Amino acid sequence: MDRTWNNCRNDFPLLQEKVNDEPLVYLDNAATTQKPRSVIQASTDFYEHFNANIYRGVHTLSQRATAAYEAVRREAAEFIGAKSSAEIVFTKGTTDSLNMVAFGWALHRLGPGDEIAVSPAEHHSNLVPWQQVAKLTGAHLVYLPLADDGQLDLGLARVLIDDRTKLVALAQVTNVLGTIVPIKEVAKIAHQHGAKIVVDGAQAAGHLPVDVQDLDADFYAFSGHKMLAQTGVGVLYGKYDLLEQLTPFEFGGEMIDSVGLDEATFKEPPLKFEAGTQNISGVLSLGAAINYLLAIGQEEIARREQELTQDLLKQLTGLSGVTVYGPKIGTPRGPIVSFNLDGVHPHDLATALDLQGIAIRAGHHCAQPLLAWLGCSATARASLALYNNEEDLAALVKGVENAKEFFAHGLGKIE
Amino acid sequence: MGLEKLNNLYRDLLLDYANHPKHAKLLPDASRELTLHNTTCGDSLHLTAVIKDQTIAQIGYQAAGCTISQASASIMSEAVLGKKTSEAQRMTLAFSKMTLGEELSPQEQDLLGDATLLSGVAQFPARIKCATMAWKAIYQLVEECQEDKHE
C-alpha cells in the first residue's frame, strides 16, 4: 500500500548505508533528519555553477545567487503561511532564532513584575534564553503546568496567563513526548492579555502543515536540518511590525543603510538581521527541502507519520517491561516516542540497538525540566520521518526484545 | 554483526559490579567531596572520601547512570580504597590510556586490576565518557586536596 512511501527511501542516499554490518534503521529524526538527493544537489549546484556573494556584486553570478537566495525567502514564507517574504529572517537555526527574540525584543521590553510563560516540556533552547532575559530584566518565569499525560493543561494556562504576562514561549510539538500544543488557543489567550507568543517549531515544521497566520503566532522559529535541509540554517518568522521593533544583535556588513564615522543606519527587516555573508548554500538547501516536502504534501506526510507513530506506540506498549511516556494511544502526537526498558539504562539500550544498526537517542534530550517532571534521569527516544516504514518499526521492536534478552539473561548466550 | 560484540563491553564480572555496587553510599564524615555530571547524557556522580596522610582511607559515592558508569564507579572505589593518592592518580592516567585503545604495560595492567574489565569500551567511542567519569572524579578530588595542602 505504501509503495510511494517506500519509493521515497530511494531519494535518501544515506538510508542505503550499513551500520555495524546491519542495514541502517534511522530513528533519530528529532535530532536531525537525513537529506534527500535534491537537497544535497542544491548545495552542490550552487558551488559548481553560481557560487558568488549575494547582494554585493553587479556581476552575473552574484545576481544569480541573490535571486536564488531571495526565491527561498518567498518559498519559506509560503511554506509557513506568512503574509510576506519580508517576515522571513534567515538564521542559523531555531536556537539562533529564539535568541534573536529574547535579546533583540524581550530584553528591551520586559521589566520587574512582568512574566514570561513557558512549559516544563520546553527544549533548553526555548527555556534558557528566557531564564537569561528574566535574570537581566527582573521579569518572572511562569510554568504552565502539564496534565498527567504530558499535554499542556489549557484550563490552567487560561488562569496563569494574565495581564502580567508579556510573552508566552511554547514548542508546537515537544521534543521528548511529541505532544502537540494547541498554539492557536494559547495565542488567543495571550493576545487577550496583550502578550506576544513565540513558537518553537523545530519539531513541527516539515511534520505538520504550519500556518503562522492561522495560529496567530507573533514569532515562529524553526531549523532546516530537522526538515531535510542541511545544518546551520533556519528561519525566524515575525509579524512585520514586531520585526520592526526587534533590535539586531549582530552588526556589520550588508545590514546597514549608511555608515558614518560615529553612527550607522540600518536596513529594513529582514535584511537588518542578516549581517555578514550568509549561509547561502544552506538557504538553498532549505529551498530544496521545502520543495521536496511540498511535492509529497504536508497533509500526507502528517497523516503517514501519525499512522506510523500510533503503530509504534501500540507495539512498544505491548512489550512487557517497556514504559512508554506521554499521551495515550490514539491521541495525535508528533512522530516522537520516548520509552524505557525496565532495568536497562537507556544508554545501554541505545548501544545494544546501535549494534543492530538501529539509531535512536538516549539521554535527557536537552529537556532536563521535563525529565524531572517524568521522574527519570534519561529516556530512550525513537523519532520518525516520512521515509521510515513498517520494517523500521519491526526492527526496533525486535531490537528492544534482543536487548532485553541480553541484559536479563546475559552474556555469551546471544550468538 | 549482532549483539555478540556487546559481550566485549558488558562482561559478567562487570555486570556484577554494576548490579552489586561496592561503596555506593555517601560518607557522612567525608573530608572531601565532588560532584560530576556528564552533560551530554545526564549521568551524575557524587563522590565522597576521607583522605588521611595522602591515603584514601574511606570512599563512598552515589551515582545515577548507565551500567558502564555504575560499574566503573564501583570498580574505581574498590580499587583506590587504601591506596596512596598519587597511586590513584596514576591509575586514572592508565585507565584513560586504556579507554583510548592504547596498549597497557604489564605494570599498568596490574595497577588497574579489575578496572581492565572496561577495556572493551575503547571500541565504543560514545561510551568512553561513561567509563571515565568515576576516574576523573577521584583524580580531581585528589588534585583539589593537594592544591589545598600547598596553600
Q: Tell whether B13 is covered by a domain.
A: yes
Task: Nearest by CB to A345, from B1, B7, B66: name it.
Answer: B66
DSSP A105-138: IIHHH--TT-EEEE-TT--GGGTHHHHHHHHHH-
Q: Tell whether B52 is covered by a domain.
A: yes
Q: Tell whether B32 is covered by a domain.
A: yes
CATH number at residue B105: 3.90.1010.10
Domain extent at residue B103: 3-145
Q: Could you tell me which of A250, A247, A245 has the C-alpha nearest to residue A274?
A: A250
Q: Do B15 and A352 touch (CB under 8 A)?
A: no
A264 bridge partner residues: A259
What is the rounded distance in angstroms from the CA atom of residue A258 to the CA atom of residue A167? 33
Q: Do A364 and B1 touch (CB under 8 A)?
A: no
- Known catalytic membership, residue A376: no
CB atoms within 10 A of CB A247: 13
Q: Tell whether B43 is covered by a domain.
A: yes
The CATH number of A40-295, from 3.20.20.390, 3.40.50.2000, 3.40.640.10, 2.40.160.10, is: 3.40.640.10
Q: Tell whether B100 is covered by a domain.
A: yes
Q: Tell whether B94 is covered by a domain.
A: yes
Measured between CA atoms, how close is A415 to chain B, in angstroms?
A: 6
Domains of chain A, residue spans: 3-29+297-409, 40-295
Best of B9, B66, B128 to disrupt the A interface by mutation (most A CBs within 10 Å)? B66
What is the rounded distance in angstroms from the CA atom of residue A183 to the CA atom of residue A37? 33
Q: What does the pLDDT profile of chain A (415 residues) look like in tens digits?
A: 455 888 999 999 999 999 999 999 999 999 999 999 999 999 999 999 999 999 877 899 999 999 999 999 999 999 999 999 999 999 999 999 999 999 999 999 999 999 999 999 999 999 999 999 999 999 999 999 999 999 999 999 999 999 999 999 999 999 999 999 999 999 999 999 999 999 999 999 999 999 999 999 999 999 999 999 999 999 999 999 999 999 998 888 888 888 988 888 888 999 999 999 999 999 999 999 999 999 999 999 999 999 999 999 999 999 999 999 999 999 999 999 999 999 899 999 999 999 999 999 998 888 899 998 998 889 999 999 999 999 999 999 999 999 998 887 654 444 3
Q: Tell whether B150 is covered by a domain.
A: no
Cβ-contact A90, A73 below 8 angstroms: yes
- Secondary structure of residue A198 in the 3-state scheme: strand
CB contacts of A368 in chain B (<8 Å) are 42
CATH code of the domain made up of A3-29+297-409: 3.90.1150.10
Taking any CB pair shorter than 8 Å as contact, residues of chain B touching chain A are 1-7, 9-12, 15, 40-44, 64-68, 124, 126-127, 130
pTM for the model: 0.90
pLDDT per residue as tens digits for the range A171-208: 999 999 999 999 999 999 999 999 999 999 999 999 99
Catalytic-role residue among A170, A204, A284, A366: A366
Give how many domains chain B has, as a whole number.
Answer: 1
Measured between CA atoms, how close is A23 to chain B, in angstroms?
A: 11
Q: Tell whether B151 is covered by a domain.
A: no
Assess: ipTM above 0.90: no
